[in-house]
Amino acid sequence: MKSCFLLFFLLFSLHAQKKLNDLQYETSPYLQAHKTNPVEWMPWGEKAFTKAKREHKAIFLSIGYSTCHWCHVMEKESFSNKEIAKLFNKYFVAIKVDREELPDIDAYYQNVFLKMHHRSCGWPLSLFMSPEKKVFYSAGYLPATKKSYSEGLETLLPRLGKLYKSNSKEYKTLKKKTELLINAPAVYTKQKSGKISLQTLKNSLLKEYDDIYGGFGNSKKFPEVSKLTLMLNVALLSRDKELENSVYETLDTMALRGLYDQVEGGFFRYSVDAAWEIPHFEKMLYTQAELIPLYTRAYLLTKKELYKNVVVETIAMLERHYKKKNLYYSASDADSGEEGAYFLYSKQEIAKTSLEFVDNFEGKMHINIYNDKRPKDFTKIQKTLQKFRNKRAYPFIDKKINTAWNSMMIEALYSASVIDGNYAKQAEKTLQALTNLMYNNHTLYHQTILGAKPRQEALLEDYSFLIGALLEGYEVDYDTQKLAFAEYLLQKAKTLFYKDGVWYLSQSKLGIKAGLIDKYYISPLAKMLQNIVKLAILKESFRYEKLANSILISLEPQLQEKLALTPALATSYLMQKKQIVLLKSNRKNLEKNRVKIESIKYPFVLREVKNFDDYLACTLRQCFAKNEYLAQVLHAIEKK
């Protein structure tokens, strides 16, 4: 009897187990989360496209990432729905892409969507295309059943599937129409003056600047660090105090309102409102890594304690939740049971502090500080509220190790070491751990998870940000090996991604050109250009200067058209045209005066160790100030 029961139990258990699709073999946490879907998902690759050709099916391509809220919704409502899954499997070969694993593929198809709809999409991104990768229909989030804003998948899937199979006149017309849109060349209209100047850049920035709440735009807001950095650079170069203060006002608001986690530190990905009060509760590693250097720089220029606190708290938050074996995980989810649950407080919990009540989440509170500084007892408030959080489960963390984003974090730690020297030690450990894991046999890799051998070779962004980290590290410890490794990586990147004067995001056969938009984080192409401009002065190399100039000339039409819409490119342009200054002296002088040097108003200053006691300031072609007193040389740099 017992053996019969055991046999029944085993058979029932086997039957109850969910069938796994091809995503079971992937390392991406996002793809792993879809391996039990009844949709017969396949990863991006020739196997999927060959299958589609053999079975005469169209491709359904779904792009998202593991901490994306609406990706979760679509997975729950549609991809886990057995009836919807039957339609996917009947009419399509379904491919799932993690946009953090394949940012080049995502960039390509986001651009396809933009050309088809004349607006950006985001995630999830849903595309229907032929096995030859010819898109004929694109959308964002798609509901399972018809809604006021969209046709439902239950009718859309059979309609598009049959349309493709029929190869009818309707399908051919639709395909031709989309091909014409996608292949239309970009046309750049030059500004009337034909010039790029501090004034035209300022005007472009102010056109989008929100002078009520700070930041850019008037609806949901991202930090847009590249724009704030450009704004600060323009303000310092033109000695425009009002523009400079606009940057600080935005930094104040972002640090005091709901975009910032007032209890543990760190910034959420964006706010859903113009006033920065209500965030979307994702935390991305790259958001922290870009904001840490900006707040560090603002602290040096203003000596405002709030900015220093933001840096210290954000790094501590990452150490607590994101760090493992000296490497950093990619992101944390907005949801923990329900959106923002970990970060919200009840009226009773808030009542135990001196904070004012603001009910902004239907009976729950997310902390906003509406004064221009924190309350005096703020440290006590943080400790009180942290006790409540300690009883809650932290949101899901995507434990992917991404080379580009870890490199950004390394650069951030080196930058913040001007506040606390221990951050440089942390940066060094992470740099060592990252290269040990992701750089093998002269090959750099893009991403993996701890315990798994990386297998995806690096993209342009990995080279760009790792070189950036090495150059920032060199400015801290003057280790010439870092400089040599940065040069080696640049030459490797040129070989892999620079063809006939054009930079590509990857070695993909799609030929995906590197773009210049840096809304979420800095464009890898603009970052590479900044690296080249820096290497030109650090290595006193006219060869690198020539390379930088040739890239800038090819990109100038886009900069003239977009100006502050390509802020990192604009900063690269200013670095080259206004010139980086190299400050030379002995190591002891440079190290003991680091705070003074990094606090000056001229935005583009690098340092180099030389065996003399005086201070010497040079551009690539001439030295223009020399004195035994640092103050005199810094004054000469600022006058420049």
The candidate with the shortest Cα–Cα distance to 386, out of 261, 280, 288, 260, is 261
**85, 89, 91, 94: CA torsion to nearest 10:** 90
* Residues 343-366, mean pLDDT to the nearest whole number: 79
CA 308 to chain centre: 22
Model confidence at 639, pLDDT cuts 50, 70, 90, reads: confident
Which residue type does 572 have?
Answer: S
So what's the pLDDT on residue 38?
Answer: 97
Left (φ > 0), alpha (ψ -120 to 50) or beta: where does 340 sit? left
CA 50 to chain centre: 33
So what's the pLDDT on residue 429?
Answer: 98
Give the up-direction half-sphere exposure of residue 618: CA atoms within 13 A in the CB hemisphere. Answer: 16
Does domain 2-183 correspond to CATH entry 3.40.50.720?
Answer: no
Look up residue 321 and give its two tokens.
Answer: 């939740």
Average the pLDDT over each of 304-318, 328-342, 604-618 and give the range with the smallest value.
328-342
Tell me whether the omega of the peptide bond preceding residue 124 falls within 30 degrees of 0, making it cis: yes
Please name the residue ranges forming H helices in 498-628.
524-538, 542-562, 567-578, 587-592, 594-598
Average pLDDT across the chain, whole number? 92
So what's the pLDDT on residue 179?
Answer: 86
d(CA 279, CA 287): 13
Q: Is the pLDDT of residue 410 over 90?
A: yes
So what's the pLDDT on residue 9?
Answer: 46
The candidate with the shortest Cα–Cα distance to 608, out of 592, 596, 591, is 591
Model confidence at 523, pLDDT cuts 50, 70, 90, reads: very high
Which residue type does 297 have?
Answer: R
pLDDT digits (tens, 9 = 90+) for 295-327: 999 999 999 999 999 999 999 999 999 999 999
Model confidence at 361, pLDDT cuts 50, 70, 90, reads: low
d(CA 90, CA 158): 9
So what's the pLDDT on residue 11?
Answer: 44
Average the pLDDT over each of 237-241, 357-361, 416-420 and give the range with the smallest value.
357-361
The partner residues of 58 in beta bridges, in order of sequence, read 92
The candidate with the shortest Cα–Cα distance to 533, out of 461, 606, 633, 637, is 606
Q: Is the pLDDT of residue 194 over 60?
A: no
CATH 3.40.30.10 positions along the chain are: 2-183
So what's the pLDDT on residue 172?
Answer: 86
Is residue 273 within 8 Å of 254, Cβ to Cβ?
no
d(CA 457, CA 468): 19
CA angle in degrees (0–180, nearest 5) for 510-511-515: 115
d(CA 262, CA 374): 10
So what's the pLDDT on residue 189?
Answer: 54
d(CA 265, CA 270): 15
The candidate with the shortest Cα–Cα distance to 97, out of 86, 89, 105, is 105
**473, 479, 485, 486: CA torsion to nearest 10:** 40
CB proximity list for 185: less than 8 A, separation 6 or greater:
none
So what's the pLDDT on residue 167?
Answer: 84
Is residue 108 within 8 Å of 510, Cβ to Cβ?
yes
> What separation in angstroms does the CA of 316 have from each of 53, 68, 263, 309, 369?
51, 24, 11, 10, 21
Is residue 80 within 8 Å of 38, Cβ to Cβ?
yes
Q: Is the pLDDT of residue 526 over 50?
A: yes
Q: Is the pLDDT of residue 3 over 80?
A: no
Q: Is the pLDDT of residue 193 over 70?
A: no
Q: Is residue 1 helix, strand or coil?
A: coil
Sheet holding 581-585, edge to edge: 605-609, 581-585, 615-618, 623-627
Name the more confident of 370 and 267: 267
* Residues 592-611, mean pLDDT to the nearest whole number: 97
d(CA 458, CA 471): 19
So what's the pLDDT on residue 549?
Answer: 96
* Residues 73-90, mean pLDDT to the nearest whole number: 96
pLDDT digits (tens, 9 = 90+) for 227-262: 999 999 999 999 999 999 999 999 999 999 999 999
* Residues 393-421, mean pLDDT to the nearest whole number: 97
